[in-house]
Structures are given as C-alpha cells and as structure tokens.
Structure 1
Amino acid sequence: MDSIHIQIPSIIENIRIIESFIDNVKEAYQISDDIYGNIMVAVTEAVNNAIVHGNKQDRTKNVDLSLHFHEDMIRFVVEDEGEGFDYHHLPDPTDPENLHKPHGRGIYLIKQLCDEVKFKNNGKCIELIFYINGQY
C-alpha cells in the first residue's frame, strides 16, 4: 500500500494545489478518466468544505489530505481543525424546498461520486473510497 500526505492552509485558492496533486496522482498511477473525474470533483469538494465550513477560512488552520492506495481501491482522507458537524441530519438537496438554495449539495454530490463515504471524528474527517478493480 502506498500513502501520500499533504497539508494546506485554509485559503480557498489552495484548491489549485489539490487539483495539481490529483493530476499528479492520475499520472503516477494511471487512473482511468472515469474514476479521475469522480475523484477530482469529490476530493476538491471535500477540501473546499473543510476550508469553508470546517475551518471557516481561518488561515491559521490547516486541512490535511492523505491518499492511500490499496490493490483494489483508492482512499482519500480529508480532515480539518473545525468543530465538526452533524452528518447524520443533513437536509436533502433534492427536496423541492432546497432546490434553489445556494449551498447544501456538496456532501450529496460526494456520496454520488464515491463508492463509499465515511465520516469520523464528529464530522471533522471524511474518507472517500473509490474502487478501482485492481486497475489503476
């Protein structure tokens, strides 16, 4: 199993660092375009949530991103220094009363793009799991 870890300050522009990181991972491990697209959107959304909602864009707080390659899956772990959130009771963004709200779709989107999503540490940590069927 390979593991890679990076840490970024909670500045929204640092999403570019995460995008470059994912591009490099795609090249290094020959990840298919289908999985790559899902990874790019889900991981950048999770990091964005950590910066904006978790750490409240406090530049003194960091977001940690780690990546773990297994034979048949890739696992990304995003962790912030915020207070966490109640991930058991999120509003449904597909509910008609929520369709026009400007926020509230990120976790829903992440769950649609990943094969598995796990929350830990009161919502301060999210694991995004992508199955790759032994091919990457």
Structure 2
Amino acid sequence: MSGFSEKNLILSSTFDQMERIPPFVDELKTWADLEEEDFNRILLTLSEAVNNAIVHGNEQDPDKNTYINVKLNDRTLSISIRDEGDGFDPSDTPDPLKEENLLNEGGRGIYLMEQYADEIQFNDEGREVSVIFYLDD
C-alpha cells in the first residue's frame, strides 16, 4: 500500500476499554499489511500508551476520552495517543534500569515503548505521545 491514509479510535477511560486494543491492531495488521514482528511491537507499544493514558492521564475517569490516531504514509506508521489529563513531564519518569527502581511495580511502560517504537515523542505537556514505526517491506 502506498500513499496516505488514517484510522481513528476513541476510548472512554475505563480499564475494560483496553480489550478494544488487540482487535484494533488486528485491523491495522490487514490495513497496513503488517509483518508479525511489526504487529507484535505495535500491539505492545499501543497497549502501554493507552494504559498510561487511561490510568495516569485520565485517572480512569469514564467522562474523559483517550484518542488514537493512526496514519500510514507509504511504509511509515505514525500513531498518536492523546488523553484529557493534566499532562506530565516525561523527563521526570524514573529510569527503570537503575538499581533503586528495579523492584518497582510500575514505571516500565515508557521504557518499553522506547524499545519497541522506532521514534517516540511527547507533545502537549505530556498529554499526547506519538510513536513511529518504520515497517518492513
């Protein structure tokens, strides 16, 4: 597939909405002709980003939404995940690889997203994260 196209998904900020992510990525698999490896890294990254938006950004407030916008331009897949929370400073996130953080229950989501996405950028004071994947041909 060449050229530009996009897809959107809006989730209310309840934890059960996470169940909508795998079928959405399945849809992306067909739409963007994803290889299995790309499918897996996109599923993991999108799940982490949406979980962060629902839990941390919108504090599981069902009156707040999480917005997912996916753009495909040739073999570059760009996904933005936006919440309606107060935002945060990504540089304040503790490094999960430091010894004092190794046993922490949370705090690995952003790190994992950075490992699986080809690029990651935080916008709008942390209320939006954009992740970019360069897809295999």
**Range into which the TM-score falls when normalised by the shorter chain:** over 0.9
SS class of match (2:92): coil
Separation of aligned partners in 2, 1:76 and 1:19: 15
Report the AA paired with residue 56 of structure 1. Answer: E
Q: Which residue of 2 aligns with 1:107?
A: 110
Separation of aligned partners in 2, 1:66 and 1:28: 14
Number of equivalent positions: 134
Specify which of 92, 95, 100 is matched with residue 97 of structure 1.
100
Separation of aligned partners in 1, 2:6 and 2:116: 22
Query: What per-residue deviation string (whole Å, max 9, x for no partner) do you get for residues 65-108 of structure 1?
Result: 01000113100100000000011222100001100000100000
Separation of aligned partners in 2, 1:85 and 1:21: 27
Separation of aligned partners in 2, 1:93 and 1:6: 30
Specify which of 115, 119, 124 is matched with residue 122 of structure 2.
119
Does 2:63 match 1:60?
yes
Deviation at 1:16, TM superposition (A): 1.1
Give the fraction of aligned pairs with identical amino acids, expressed as a percent.
35
Deviation at 1:117, TM superposition (A): 0.1
Give runs of ≥4 in structure 1 deviating > 2 Å: none
| Mean CA deviation greater in 116-125 or 29-38 | 29-38
Supply the RMSD in Å over aligned alpha carbons. Answer: 0.9
Q: Which residue of 2 aligns with 1:34?
A: 37
TM-score by length of 2: 0.95
TM-score by length of 1: 0.95
Report the AA paired with residue 55 of structure 1. Answer: N
Does 2:83 match 1:46?
no
SS class of match (1:88): helix
Separation of aligned partners in 2, 1:46 and 1:5: 15
SS class of match (1:24): helix
Q: Can you give the 5+ residue segments of structure 2 that lack an aligned partner in the other structure?
A: none
